[in-house]
Amino acid sequence: MTAVPPPSSGQELSNPPTDGVSNLRFSNHSDHLLVSSWDKTVRLYDATANVLRGEFSHGSPVLDCCFHDDSSGFSASADNTVRRFVFNSNKEDIIGKHDAPVRCVEYSYAAGQLITGSWDKTLKCWDPRGANGQERTLIGTYQQPERVYSLSLVGNRLVVATAGRHVNVFDLRNMSQPEQRRESSLKYQTRCVRCYPNGTGYALSSVEGRVAMEFFDLSEASQTKKYAFKCHRKSEAGRDIVYPVNAIAFHPIYGTFATGGCDGYVNVWDGNNKKRLYQYSKYPTSIAALSFSRDGHLLAVASSYTFEEGEKLYEPASISPSKNHHEPDAIFVRNVNEIEVKPKPKVYPNPPA
């Protein structure tokens, strides 16, 4: 029997992937949830009804996925391909290829383009409306300083985080060169980058239990607002144990954000007031990915071992209580209460009489 987490974890989706979850995303139009996995599939769920609506098989692990609209989506695969699939007809086609595994895929509604980032150290932009042949869909290839680890879009702005702690900021309307070339303010490898919903900057997380809050505006006034903070850590026997921060997801209404770490915890933060708002009950294993629904009422959580401690057996602790196992990969969808995500108003002392 699988150990049943407390109900506070949320509703566990049935028919989960059979290997690690690489990403999950809610649709911008519904409560449909797209999930990519190392089990070589992309799965489409109705998160509210807890129903698997579709499953698409690839030849290799799928490293990322995103929606185009509610009827189709895209995937990034370790077999170097970028694919599109149409949910209702179960059709799929290859949009194009990189020269190494494709790590990230994002669809820009502002530009009508698909953006992919690969371990071949390039970004590629595609027009998915291009007919008959990959050469017609490819808009451009843009060399990056290192392997691409994470992408994020807000409006026409694209943030690219690569190996070597590089961060490039592009304007999708002029991809010939980055608007800004930056270095991560964190000392260790970048895990995730996500833009603020209001378009003023981005949050970036590292393998060393930290998140940096950055701003696009290079003026001194704006740059004095940037900061970094420690998270997903614990003290044990007088020493600090530090966990990678794998996932960041911004709440679409309040602009607060959730982080997920290899400690199995999801924390919610108010970045403006530099406060933690909430910590959810511990999940069975590492948090691999997070996504808020379009209205912010649901939060999808991938509880999925990310191999930060090397190879482990795939079985629950109740069967194999040794440390050399990992809990089954699972996706939980939780209802979000306003108190968990809404910034608390600042309390000012009463002025002297």
Mean pLDDT split into 10-residue runs, the chain, 353 residues: 58 95 97 97 97 95 96 96 93 94 97 97 92 71 98 97 98 96 96 97 97 97 96 90 97 98 97 96 96 98 76 54 70 96 78 60
pLDDT of 351 reads: 62
pLDDT of residue 134: 55
pTM summary value: 0.91
The phi, psi pair for 164, rounded to 5°, reads 75, 10
Helix, strand or coil, per DSSP, at residue 43? strand
Residue 182 tokens read as 């930056």
- Given this model, what pLDDT does residue 119 score? 98
Determine the pLDDT at residue 1. Answer: 42
- pLDDT, position 6: 43
**33 with 25: CB under 8 angstroms?**
yes
pLDDT of residue 320: 53
pLDDT of residue 238: 86
- Torsion angle of C-alpha atoms 173, 175, 179, 183, degrees rounded to 10: 140
What is the predicted pLDDT for the residue at 68? Answer: 95
- What is the rounded CA–CA span in Å between residue 270 and residue 94? 40
Calpha distance 339→271 (Å, rounded): 16
137, two tokens: 């869909």
Tokens for 330, please give them.
């699972």
Q: What is the pLDDT of residue 90?
A: 85
Q: How far is CA 131 from CA 79, 128, 302, in A?
A: 23, 8, 35
Please tell me what DSSP assigns to residue 222.
H
How many Å apart are CA 276 and CA 231, to the nearest integer? Answer: 10
